[in-house]
Amino acid sequence: MLNAAIFASGNGSNFEALVNSNRVNIVLLVCNNENAYVIERAKKHDIEVMMLNYKDVSPLYNETLAYEVMKRKKVELILLAGFMKKLTPFLIGKYPKCILNIHPSLLPKYKGLNAVDQALEAGETEIGVTVHYVNKYLDDGKVIVQDSIDIKGLDVKDVYEKVHKKEHELYVEALDIVLEEFYE
């Protein structure tokens, strides 16, 4: 099985879904938030955690450190799952077509932070989730899979619940597509 690293900064429900999917061997969690619940999840699964401190050093420095660890652990795929820092061209260049991201909108609509809230504020009745390859722009790059969610009549809590459920399914679906291409 291919070795992968997950980069995440928060709760880590997507991290959990990816680990439990057993599609790839998750060998590393890269995290920039010491209070993130995803750290507990990684410990529970015995997955090494690498903390990056973006307060005192540059993103490039951090990515260089992460790259050294990923090289040692033979990481071939990077899965961004709620990582709240934009990658620099350095790491993107080291992993061409091998960095994926999940975003809770029908990209190219509603890029950036709080995408679901942006869509709700705009009065959308259909929102969605996208998994895409990462390029140097924010929430850009070739779409791997995208699916919509009908949210007519739902309250905000139910909308988020539906979005997360869809994310967990879609990220695994995207992995299957990417792995098939990888082994072609």
Residue pair 76/4 in contact by the 8 Å Cβ criterion: yes
104 touches ligand GRF by CB under 6 A: yes
Q: Which C-beta is closer to ligand GRF: that of 91 or that of 103? A: 103
Amino acid identity for residue 155 in this structure: D
Q: Which is nearer to ligand GRF, 63 or 167 (by Cβ)?
A: 167
Q: Does 12 bind ligand GRF (CB under 6 A)?
A: yes
Catalytic residue set: 103
Is 82 an interacting residue with respect to ligand GRF (CB under 6 A)? yes
**Cβ nearer to ligand GRF, comparing 70 with 103:** 103
Scanning 49-57, 58-66, 97-105, 118-126 for contacts with ligand GRF by CB under 6 A, the matching segment is 97-105
Determine phi and psi for 68, rounding to 5 degrees. -60, -45
Nearer to ligand GRF (CB atom), residue 61 or residue 134: 134
Phi-psi region of 152 (alpha: psi -120 to 50; beta: other; left: phi over 0): beta
Orientation angle between helical segments 156-182 and 13-21, nearest 10 degrees: 40
User: Could you give the strand order of the β-sheet that contains 3-7, starting from the edge strand earlier in sequence?
Assistant: 48-51, 25-31, 3-7, 77-80, 99-103, 126-133, 143-150
User: Could you say which DSSP state residue 88 is in?
Assistant: P
| 167 interacts with ligand GRF by CB under 6 A | yes
Decide: is 102 part of the binding site for ligand GRF (CB under 6 A): yes
Binding part of the chain for ligand GRF, among 51-59, 61-69, 96-104, 143-151 by CB under 6 A, reads 96-104
Q: Which residues are paired to 126 by β-bridges? A: 150
Contact status, residue 88 vs residue 69, Cβ threshold 8 Å: no
Q: Give the binding range for ligand GRF (CB under 6 A) out of 12-20, 49-57, 71-79, 88-96.
A: 12-20
Q: Phi then psi for 46, rounded to 5 degrees?
A: 60, 40
Binding site for ligand GRF (CB under 6 A): 8, 10-15, 81-82, 102-104, 167
